Amino acid sequence: MPELIDESMVVLDLQAQDKDSAVHVLAERLALAGRVTDMEQFLADVRAREQVMATGLEGGIGIPHARSSAVTSPSLAFGRSRSRVDFGAGDGPADLIFLIAAPADGGAEHMTILASLARRLVHGSFLESLRSLASPTEVAELINREVGG
């Protein structure tokens, strides 16, 4: 199973006006990396999840996500937006966007890596590091190290 994220799935200067285009940009990175086989299907599944309830959380983070048959392995695309993108959180738009992709038929072991990612997301120090790191390689390394250990 490949690592959760590599530097090609990190966008440090995300240009997007709204959450649909932000998700689109990040999903394209997943598709280029071979993690998503069918963009249209994956985007539809993410949209369906967004419709159930917005995924913005307080503290400036957005976590669009879906389990989808178009996903090959648990993956994360990460985007940092200077202009911020609204994901429907109570305290305003998000500057850190995590697009989480889970395979539809993934067994429990597949999913533990995503569970461990989700648990890191509530730690302020982890988020601050992601705000300050300068290169995609550093970001990918930090995330893989944190969810692995």
**Would you please indicate which residues are annotated as catalytic (active-site) residues?**
65
Binding mask 90-129 for other proteins (x = CB under 8 A): x---------x-x-x-x-x--xx-xxx-xxxxxx------
Terminal-to-terminal C-alpha distance of the chain: 16
Cα-trace Rg, the chain: 14
Instruction: Tell me whether residue 32 or residue 104 sits nearer to other proteins (CB atom).
Output: 104
What span, in angstroms and rounded, lies between the C-alpha atoms of 108 and 115?
Answer: 10
Nearest residue to 77 (alpha-carbon basis) of 125, 45, 117 = 117
Q: How far is the CB of 51 from other proteins (least distance, A)?
A: 5
137: tokens are 């390689």
Residues that bind other proteins (CB under 8 A): 40-41, 44-45, 47, 49-55, 57-59, 63, 65-67, 69, 88, 90, 100, 102, 104, 106, 108, 111-112, 114-116, 118-123
